[in-house]
Structure 1
């Protein structure tokens, strides 16, 4: 699986940014998100148990907008 850079949080400092990537999987569309690991006890309690093979990350809304833009571009191609 390969990852293609889509964008990063414009508010982030160099080398420390929430980032969104698209993968080239052929069986389904997936994305990789680099973000801040959630360690806040209240947030973790609200979410509940997270399996050992998963983690929670926090990413800014601006990064999610990058996904929305890509989605809309792809829909326009059909």
Structure 2
């Protein structure tokens, strides 16, 4: 699987860059999100158990705009 950079948090500093990537999977559309690891106890309680191999991350809303932009581009091609 390959990952293609879509965009990163425009307010991020070097070494602290929540980022969104698209994958080239052919069986379904998937994305890889790089973000801050959630360690807040209340948030983790609210979410509940996290399965092995998964992680809870936080990303800024601005990063999700890159998903919306890609989705819009795909819809315009159809």
Short-chain TM bin: over 0.9
TM-score (normalised: structure 1): 0.97
SS in 2 for 1:20: strand
Q: Which residue of 1 aligns with 2:48?
A: 48
Which whole-Å deviations, capped at 9, do the CAs of 1:28-66 have from their partners, x for residues lacking one?
A: 100000000000000000001111211100000000011
Kindly report structure 1 stretches of 4+ aligned residues shifted beyond 3 Å: none
Shift in Å at residue 15 of structure 1? 2.5
Matched, 1:13 2:20: no
Name the count of aligned residue pairs: 78
User: How does the TM-score come out when normalised to structure 2?
Assistant: 0.97
Structure 2, unmatched stretches of 5+, are none
Match of 2:63 in 1: 63
CA distance in 1, matches of 2:9, 2:31: 15
> Take 2:47 and 2:15, find their aligned partners in 1: how far apart are those partners?
29
- The alignment partner of 2:16 has SS state of coil
Structure 1, unpaired ranges of 5+: none
